[in-house]
Amino acid sequence: MEYQKRQLDEIFDLTAIRIIVDSIRDCYAVLGTVHTKWKPIPGRFKDYIAMPKPNRYQSLHTTVLAESGNPFEIQIRTADMHQIAEYGIAAHWKYKEGIQVDEEEVKLAWIRQTLEWQQDLNDPKEFMETLKLDLFSNQVFVFTPKGDVIELPAGSTPLDFAFKIHTAVGAKCVGAKVNGKMVPIDYVLKNGEIVDIVTSQNSRGPSIDWLKIAKTNSARTKIKQWLKRENKSQSADKGKEMLEKAAKRKGYDLQLVLKNQYVGRAAKALNYSSADDLYTAISYGGPLMNRVLLMCAGYYHEEKQADLKRQEKQEETIRTVERKKREHTKGVTVKGVGDLLIRFAKCCNPVPGDDIIGYTTKGRGVSVHRKDCINILSMPEHERMRLIDVEWDLSDEDMYYDAEISLLAEDRKGLFADVSKVCEEMDINITGVNAKTDKDGITTMTLTISISNTAHIIKILNRFSQIRNVVDVYRTHT
């Protein structure tokens, strides 16, 4: 009475009866019988079967008035419920599984029972609830809005609850509702409370202060992991900014010198797993920044020199081809006639290995055609008198001739780049190109290239046919 601050007339369970039955159905049947025989006191009925306590305690409690007018409490439960109530859930499992309980456990159970008897005169129901909760004094049991039970260490906060639900929920936590009321994230949770975490996509995420608020190792570990990732990202951004400022001070063009491929190449050379790791290391200061800057500048100049060499080689090839083209008197001879102006017809672009014929023009020398040229085949009879026999002069193996190739392919990104790459690999000079794509997605690409003979063009056709998505490739006959 003194401990609970109650008067004698407020004590309803000086006398208590416990009824053990076989099933839950019997519990409620006995309850109905009790309420039929004795008048129940309003507000004193508790259904812990339908709503168990966090520590799994189940029982029906009711207080009734005896014929004498004195109140007494009745507890109704099954044998299994009684086992859990008296000895805890672990002892219940041992009992159900037939495991022998040792002497020390029996003594402990006896002490618990003795404590209950000693407190019979001081609200035994309240004492038992306190005692059982004390068995879980290092834990709290709270509920999600859907009714799921979440077990946490005593002193836990909404942060611990949020990270227990999911890391993403914890990271976006900005507060919580406990039993419908807003509370801060450092609120200490109590047994039986319903916790609803409030999140925001605009949340900046965990801060270092959260480590002081979170009580569970799990939540603290997740917060540390998040902070580590965030700090790494921030450090990488800082390192990248430092490198860019240093490049500007030296007058470098950032778009040219600090390309991602150069920074990635430097990271690999310095044994960093990624460019971000390299940026993070730069953010710590030291000589690394200047070293990386010099490496990237070196990569840029290497590529620039390589481009210049490729350009010079291409220009030299063009000059060679043009020089050979200007030597019209070489490569073809007119039978029985010398010192004539020779030019190759653009309509069919003959090359060594083709069957050729000459056409005597008016004032422009001899035009050399392929014998299967459409202009020769369709020539009027009176014009055919101008045709003369010509033959290839193969004494100069360095002669180059224009040839036209048509390539059909399913249109895709990078198609022309692949064609250009093949030309570069085979040292082919492209003097003209035309491409169009039809409504079915088929691209027709016509290339004018410089070749030495028909054998050369066959190799080129075979190589072009190996390009991905190429449907057909052939020499154009006009």
pLDDT tens, position by position, 27-76:
999 999 999 998 888 778 889 888 887 677 899 999 888 887 778 899 99
The span from the CA of 149 to the CA of 165, in Å, is: 11
Q: pTM (2 decimals)? A: 0.33
Task: Share the mean pLDDT of the chain.
Answer: 79
In a domain, 42, yes or no: yes
Do 122 and 76 belong to one domain? yes
With bands split at pLDDT 50, 70 and 90, how would you rate the model's confidence at 338?
low
In a domain, 378, yes or no: yes
**pLDDT over 90 (residue 334):** no
Do 131 and 12 belong to one domain? yes
Query: What CATH number has the domain bearing residue 70?
Result: 3.30.460
**Which pLDDT score is estimated for 333?**
67
- Of 215, 243, 269, the last residue of a domain is 215
**Which pLDDT score is estimated for 3?**
40
**Domain membership of residue 434 as a residue range:** 401-475
More confident residue, 335 or 239: 239
Percent of the chain predicted with pLDDT > 70: 79
Query: What CATH number has the domain bearing residue 426?
Result: 3.30.70.260
In a domain, 295, yes or no: no
pLDDT tens, position by position, 404-431:
899 999 998 888 889 888 888 888 888 8
Instruction: Kindly list the distances between the CA atom of residue 145 and the CA atoms of 228, 298, 377, 426, in Å, as whole numbers in the listed order.
Output: 32, 61, 90, 71
In a domain, 231, yes or no: no
**pLDDT over 90 (residue 7):** no
**Which pLDDT score is estimated for 74?**
93
Contacts of 404 (CB under 8 A, 6+ apart): 349, 446, 447, 448, 449, 475, 476, 478
Do 28 and 117 belong to one domain? yes
The span from the CA of 145 to the CA of 17, in Å, is: 36
The span from the CA of 172 to the CA of 204, in Å, is: 8
The span from the CA of 236 to the CA of 215, in Å, is: 31
Do 450 and 464 belong to one domain? yes
What are residue 402's DSSP bridge partners?
A: 450
Do 387 and 432 belong to one domain? no
Query: What CATH number has the domain bearing residue 189?
Result: 3.10.20.30
**Which pLDDT score is estimated for 68?**
78
Domain count, the chain: 4
> What mean pLDDT do residues 180-200 have?
90
> What mean pLDDT do residues 455-462 have?
88
The span from the CA of 461 to the CA of 467, in Å, is: 10
Residue with tokens 């690394």, as numbered in its chain = 288
Do 408 and 377 belong to one domain? no
pLDDT tens, position by position, 95-141:
444 445 455 555 555 455 445 444 443 555 544 544 444 444 577 88
Do 378 and 467 belong to one domain? no
- Of 187, 215, 243, the last residue of a domain is 215
The answer to whether 154 and 135 have CB atoms below 8 angstroms apart is no
In a domain, 169, yes or no: yes
The answer to whether 455 and 446 have CB atoms below 8 angstroms apart is no
Q: Identify the weakest region by mean pLDDT among 224-238, 346-360, 448-462.
A: 224-238
Radius of gyration of the chain, Cα coordinates, nearest whole angstrom: 47
Do 102 and 196 belong to one domain? no
> What mean pLDDT do residues 336-365 have?
81
Four-CA torsion 458, 460, 463, 469, nearest 10 degrees: -100
Do 76 and 97 belong to one domain? yes
Provide the 10 A C-beta neighbour count for residue 224: 15
- Of 107, 135, 163, the last residue of a domain is 135
In a domain, 47, yes or no: yes
In a domain, 234, yes or no: no
The answer to whether 266 and 278 have CB atoms below 8 angstroms apart is yes
In a domain, 250, yes or no: no
Do 65 and 163 belong to one domain? no
Q: Which of 87-91, 137-141, 216-220 has the highest mean pLDDT?
A: 216-220
Do 366 and 463 belong to one domain? no
**Which pLDDT score is estimated for 142?**
87
Do 199 and 171 belong to one domain? yes
**Which pLDDT score is estimated for 282?**
80
